[in-house]
Amino acid sequence: MVALYQGGHRGPPLQQGSNMKITIIGAGQVGATLAQRVLENDLADVVLVDVVEGVPQGKALDLAQAAPVTGHDRKIIGTNQYQETKNSDVVVITAGLARKPGMTREDLLGMNAKIIRDVVENIMKFSPSPIMIVVTNPLDIMTYLAYKASGLPAQRVVGMAGVLDSSRMATFIAQALGVSVSTIQAMVLGSHGETMVPLPRFTTISGIPLPELMKPDQIEKIVQRTRDGGAEIVAHLKTGSAFYAPSASVLQMVAAIVHDKKTVLPVSAFVQGEYGLRDLFIGVPAKLGGKGVEQVVELSLNQAEKEALHRSAKAIQEGIAGLRL
Annotated active-site positions, please? Answer: 192
Residue 118 CB, shortest distance to ligand TXD, in Å, is 5
- 141 contacts ligand TXD (rule: CB under 6 A): no
Please report how the helices 229-237 and 162-177 are oriented relative to each other, as an axis angle in degrees rounded to 10: 90
Cis peptide before 138 (omega within 30 of 0): yes
- 84-103 binders of ligand TXD (CB under 6 A): 94-96, 98
Total binding residues toward ligand TXD, as defined by CB under 6 A: 31
For ligand TXD, the closer CB: 119 or 301: 119
Sheet holding 90-93, edge to edge: 76-79, 45-49, 21-25, 90-93, 131-134, 157-159, 263-272, 278-289, 292-296
Per-residue contact track with ligand TXD, 284 to 313, x per CB under 6 A?
------------------------------
For ligand TXD, the closer CB: 137 or 204: 137
- 24 contacts ligand TXD (rule: CB under 6 A): no
Main-chain dihedrals φ then ψ at residue 52, nearest 5 degrees: -75, 125
Look at residue 71 and give its three-state secondary structure.
Answer: coil
Q: How many CB atoms lie within 10 A of CB 237?
A: 12
Count the alpha carbons within 13 Å of 25 in the hemisphere toward its beta carbon. Answer: 29
- 246 contacts ligand TXD (rule: CB under 6 A): yes
- Biggest CA pair distance of the chain: 55
Residue 132 CB, shortest distance to ligand TXD, in Å, is 13
For ligand TXD, the closer CB: 20 or 49: 49
Residue 30 CB, shortest distance to ligand TXD, in Å, is 3
Q: Tell me the Ramachandran region of residue 89: left when phi exceeds 0, alpha when psi lies from -120 to 50, beta otherwise.
A: alpha
Residue 167 CB, shortest distance to ligand TXD, in Å, is 10
For ligand TXD, the closer CB: 43 or 163: 163
Q: What share of the chain is helix, strand, coil (3-state, %, to 5)?
A: 45, 20, 35
* Interface with ligand TXD (CB under 6 A): 25-31, 49-52, 94-96, 98, 115, 118-119, 135-137, 139, 160-161, 164, 192, 240-243, 246
